[in-house]
Structure 1
């Protein structure tokens, strides 16, 4: 396959800078075509190249526009790996942000998650995957309860993970010299490889058998 992505040109940041703050509807419409060409299309090219590199990442969406100005100021995309398990991307004036997440869980997924975290082998595997990401500089976050959920001891060795109702690992690329070149594709592929152990764990343990 011929690589499509060659980076975001400097003009992409110029467009986003003009959209900063509270741009009028007239200005948004004036910039729509340029934003599509300079900001959104590179994200589409990037995700097509990621999918070409690994078909596991072929189910993606690159979001378009909405009435709220935030969607004009931030170009987002999602790669779906399993039910509620995904890689999210966001390009804006701060750079390129990538996160791997299990979030907004379906009913029943939290119970599956807790049982797998409490399991000796499965829980240790997730803890190690997250620790590896943290040591590589990823920010680990999520919806976290203040107390250990009922039925699990506060002294459990993975009590911290048991309190999670979602898990997100994220990092950002803010190097302008990379964003304007195809090197950003390699960075995204490396990030996806880093996230794979954690996201594969969620796809295996938290996705119910009846989920499509």
Structure 2
């Protein structure tokens, strides 16, 4: 695997063009740019991060349009992750990293709310969220519009109790180091920061224990 040298500006230009013309014709005409300026640097980045963050995975560029009104065939960003790290994405707007739980089953939601409600574990999460936001991360997720059943509307952590999923993300845009090898250091540093959140989730929520057929989130 070639060494990671950063994401060239051609990667962002490729996605700008794809946003303007999301067609098979554009993709075919610019496939070489995608392979050399987008996919190859992403693979090299994940390879550089693998010793600390584990096995890599790059998401496919094609969209699943079976149940979508938007029939655009291609994703306008390349997304990937390492199993013990987090998510990394490059688009026309530059670099973004994230971590957390994007999807949850009903039993995970129950454990999340119980841990938020508990003063010991809930106060720790509240502090983690505050620290991440102060560090420039957006902490968000899928939430209820009202209070969850069984919890008082005036609970001191009612905003966190509304969460069904919980993630932290940081949009770096297009900094000068995006096209440099040190880009890998920024991604690694971000994943180490967000590891505190994923660690809390792993400790107090964990994987679903329900059969696959019963994991539809609520």
TM-score by length of 2: 0.84
Q: Post-superposition shift, 1:164? A: 0.7
Secondary structure of the corresponding residue to residue 20 of structure 1? helix
Structure 1 pair 160–176 and aligned structure 2 pair: CA distance change class (3 A): closer
Superposition RMSD in Å: 2.1
Secondary structure of the corresponding residue to residue 7 of structure 1? coil
Structure 1 segments (4+ residues) deviating >6 Å: none
Secondary structure of the corresponding residue to residue 19 of structure 2? coil
Cα distance in 1 for partners of 2:144, 2:208 equals: 26
Cα deviation per residue 1:118-161 (whole Å; 9 max; x = unaligned)? Answer: 11211111111111001111112111112221111222221111
Structure 1 pair 198–39 and aligned structure 2 pair: CA distance change class (3 A): same
User: Does residue 27 of structure 2 align to residue 65 of structure 1?
Assistant: no
Secondary structure of the corresponding residue to residue 151 of structure 1? coil
TM-score by length of 1: 0.86
Secondary structure of the corresponding residue to residue 21 of structure 2? coil
Q: How does 1:1-212 map to 2 (within 5 A)?
A: 4-52=3-51, 54=52, 57-66=53-62, 68-71=72-75, 73-81=76-84, 87-208=86-207, 210=209
Structure 1 pair 92–208 and aligned structure 2 pair: CA distance change class (3 A): closer
Q: Post-superposition shift, 1:210? A: 4.9
Cα distance in 1 for partners of 2:11, 2:165 equals: 33
Cα deviation per residue 1:48-74 (whole Å; 9 max; x = unaligned)? Answer: 11122x1xx213311232154442x31
Unpaired segments of 5 or more residues in structure 1? none
140-149 or 2-11, larger mean C-alpha shift: 2-11
Cα distance in 1 for partners of 2:23, 2:40 equals: 23
